[in-house]
Structure 1
Amino acid sequence: MGSTTTTTEDKSKAAAFRIGLGDITPNNLGQLKRLNTVLFPVVYTSSFYKEVLEVGEFAKIIYFNDICVGGVCCRKENVPGSTSLQNLYIATLGVLAPYRRLGLGSKLLKHILENAKLPSSSGPKIAKVYLHVQTNNEEAVEFYKKYGFEVVEKCENYYPQFDVKDAFKLEKVLIEKN
């Protein structure tokens, strides 16, 4: 796990803490599963977690002082009619409530966006990054807008199993298609 030291202002004093991103491996996949169970009202399948193990830099766990407190999981999708472009779907990005507003979600999202922009020597380039957010989750919508995502669609009944069924589709275009 790579680690960086970050300083933040606590209400009364400055506190130093360590933040590190870790790869998802078979050895820590259970941690990710437990996190997702707490963070999201969706039960993810074993095939979801199998795919997570295969996306490399597009799935990470974040540690705060060596405690696993969040993660991000993405999947690559082929762009119809193109062999040189893919889209990247952020399936999950979350941080446990006591650790929010410390820059951890931003660190996860920045990592994904930076890696999505890197040139790929062995495969398609990432054309856009997108995700869905429940329409009542204004905090999440504003978070993603801060990083250049735009609401491009309202998807009615996207979450049929939830009280708030509608979602916004947000996306950030990295490469314009011709």
Structure 2
Amino acid sequence: SAYWNGFVIGAICARIEPCPDSEGRSRLYIMTLGVLAAYRGREVGRKLVQSVLDFYEENKDKEDGGGAKQQQQQPMSTVDEVALHVQINNDDAMKFYIEGFGFEKGPMIENYYKRVDPPHCYLLSKKLR
């Protein structure tokens, strides 16, 4: 989380999960990133994403997940990419991840979101190893 004068102004939530198409490998999955509107454009989001990437770098060779709380206890040493889903019309988010961190835009996934319009998204990913 990111704080300003004791108030939360931004947060990121990520988990280690099995790669859907690679047996025995895992990925860091960014579930959500949010920054209060008044604090956008001040590098808060960039620092939050960087904190996840830094956590990976500091713990990538550990067998215990680097101390992260995980449901399935995937070892950090099996992680080889970071990924997230972005709504197809969220050009700012795509630019943020692609230009700012080197993510690649993958396939469009139809009807990924259940309560959002449009419901389609892209899978963005970045190889870590």
- TM-score bracket, shorter-length normalisation: 0.7 to 0.9
Change (3 A) 1:81 1:103: same
| Counterpart for residue 133 of structure 1 | 86
Deviations 1:54-79 (A, max 9, x none): xxxxxxx1112332111000111124
Deviation at 1:159, TM superposition (A): 1.0
| Counterpart for residue 151 of structure 1 | 105
The CA distance in 1 between the partners of 2:114 and 2:87, in whole Å, is: 11
Task: Please give the secondary structure, in 2, of the residue aligned with 1:92.
Answer: strand
Task: Please give the secondary structure, in 1, of the residue aligned with 2:12.
Answer: strand
Worse-matched range after superposition: 156-165 or 120-129? 120-129
Deviation at 1:114, TM superposition (A): 1.4
* Structure 1 unaligned spans of 5+: 1-60
Deviation at 1:90, TM superposition (A): 0.4
Q: Which runs of 4+ in 1 moved over 4 A?
A: none
The CA distance in 1 between the partners of 2:7 and 2:103, in whole Å, is: 29
Task: Please give the secondary structure, in 1, of the residue aligned with 2:54.
Answer: helix
Paired residues in the alignment total 113
Deviation at 1:161, TM superposition (A): 2.0
Deviations 1:26-71 (A, max 9, x none): xxxxxxxxxxxxxxxxxxxxxxxxxxxxxxxxxxx11123321110
Provide the TM-score with structure 1 as the length reference.
Answer: 0.60
| Counterpart for residue 23 of structure 2 | 81
* Structure 2 unaligned spans of 5+: 65-74
Task: Please give the secondary structure, in 2, of the residue aligned with 1:161.
Answer: coil
| Identical residues among aligned pairs (%) | 38
- Larger RCO (alpha carbons 8 Å, 6+ apart): 2
Provide the TM-score with structure 2 as the length reference.
Answer: 0.81
Question: 1:120 aligned to 2:73?
Answer: no
Deviations 1:118-161 (A, max 9, x none): 33333332211000011111000000012011101111111132
| Counterpart for residue 161 of structure 1 | 115
